[in-house]
Structure 1
Amino acid sequence: MRKGLLLTTASMALLTTLTACGNSSSDSASSGSDGTKAKIGVILPDSRSSARWETADRPFLTKAFKAAGVDYDIQNAQGDKQAFQTIADQMISSGVNVLVIVNLDSGTGKAVLDKAKSQGVATIDYDRLTLGGSAQYYVSFDNTAVGKLQGEGLAKCLADGKAKKPVIAELNGSPTDNNATLFAQGYNSVLDPKYASGQYTKGPNQSVPDWDNAQAGTIFEQMLTSQPKIGGVLAANDGLGNAAIAVLRKNHRNGQVPVTGQDATVQGLQNILAGDQCMTVYKAVKKEADATSELAIALAKGQKGKTDSSVQDPEGKREVPSVLLTPVAIYKDNVKDVVNDGFVTKADLCAGKYADLCTRSGIQ
């Protein structure tokens, strides 16, 4: 056993299970500038909060690493903080010289990043910035812009209706995810002036722990019970939006109350086609994965990473070199753009009862 890998019997059992959930390659001849083998580790957060991590991020990253001929190991912590740290320990001990993480929270993420740094491993925050962390780079979308698109989207959908001073419920993302904070900053920059002017009525507002869709359903049901006249729902992603839609459907109000989303998941897009969801935000994950893999591959080979901007870490009080990408708002009339971009397939989106809806929306 390599020095520094101190695992209990229980941890070893956990590690065996986790390894089975990952994928790796050892067919690489690439080496860093110092002759060490180039190897990249990636830790994804879960597969419950959003389908994207397994259906999009993993295959895009895998394809890029294989094309570059670098060794890699991609694993998913499945929402388990202990598992996250155990995977990181295993990857560091196995010789990765670059570690890419999507943190579960900033505390866990910081511990992992600091350990990697102490072992001379280059680090990248992927999609979520670890507050107070030590990642050398950050790759994501402009998350305040994502939230602004959501706020503008809800306003657009409400303008199409007849509701006067609609009560707006806000289902925010996880309080431990810095992205959720940025999304809220974005959509509240649109909604707060409308509350202040009396155009909208500020309704229940709650964060959903761990982006958990089941909890979101319970929370929204309580919101609707306490405020039956909810006229719009700012849901921070498609999973939370679908949870709200399920409750609205049970109350025969789906399609009557605009609901936002994010991630352009198959489910979210189907809800848009059906008229149950107002809009979503498309973040071209391939662009994010490609930018991350390009940066990680360069670092693994001992080269300098290239970035185009930086973000402020308010807790660490430092500027983090970053690559920030541009999100796109998706409504019923441009759902086809997500299909044309290859992010979702027509076969998945247009299955069963959605086939006719796809045809009507020009999805070929």
Structure 2
Amino acid sequence: MPPKQPSIKGRGTADKIDGRFNTHQRELVEDSWFQEPENAPKTTVEIEHPKTIITRNQSPDLPFSQSINAYRGCEHGCIYCYARPSHAYLGLSPGLDFETKLTAKPDAAKLLKKELAAKNYQCSPISLGANTDPYQPIEREYQITRQILQVLSETRHPCHIVTKSSMVERDIDILQQMARQNLVRVHLSVTTLDSALSRVLEPRASAPKRRLKTIETLRAANIPVTVLIAPVIPVLTDAELENIVKAVVDAGALDVNYILLRLPLEVSPLFEQWLHTHRPDQAQHILNRIHDLRGGKNNDPRFGHRLRGEGIYADLLAQRFRSIVKKLMINTGLSPLQCDLFQPEGGQLTLF
């Protein structure tokens, strides 16, 4: 069992676990020596100037082939975040560094406009928030996501937004205009309705009640909103499934889906450490149930299995979800976003 680690208020982890590409790997051990806690780490932001901004994938598990990440790392500090291992490519820790040492791409909108204007560009919906949240706290200062949305709106390009932040309400003016032409859909991520659990599980994300209010606000502006219950954590949050679905539908969500907890690479030891720090009595029970879902391991990266798991527990969870969707008569047949309105140069809208 990993040693219990002191927590840092407002951070998902205090662990500076080494990335898998580091020359040396350090391991935390309990040696009974008293250490003065470090000052609470502040968020720092480095500026990145990439040559391109659209990332493409061919994953059969994902409903999109194009995405944009305005930031590397995420200040929300969600301990379960599957994107944490990406910080290892920067020579930084997927632990505390992931949520405190961030990278911003202020040229994103300019690059996007250039890439959309390329002669061989094929229009398909772009996902914002596929890796890190486009509305994490530093977006208030940098406003890169808003600039990206302005370009997408001008060019009539469809996009999906995945976020767990109420800051998305700031851009209602742009989203409302795009929604009128079926060019945007907001996917709000909800993990738990328990505010106390949320504070330590996803410390700098919007509180659960605030996210429900965001659904109401966006729907009042006629902006389509769906909810992703992500991740569903065995034992810790799975009992809330029915309550979450009902709460988000009552708030106005047009569709609901879920994703099981994933623990790839460095996320696995970080999550185990979090369990033994914040939920020591449940830790082994939770890990055992995860093993039931993942073939006796903490993670199963296979396409077709990584988002839903397999086995009796996965089947029961899917059955519960189908039952509540049927009971609430949720219509899952939303039409795809519009692609045939795309204008690479952002031409003027016409009335007729």
Question: Under a length normalisation based on structure 1, what TM-score does the superposition of the two structures give?
Answer: 0.32
Bigger helix fraction: 1
Bigger strand fraction: 1
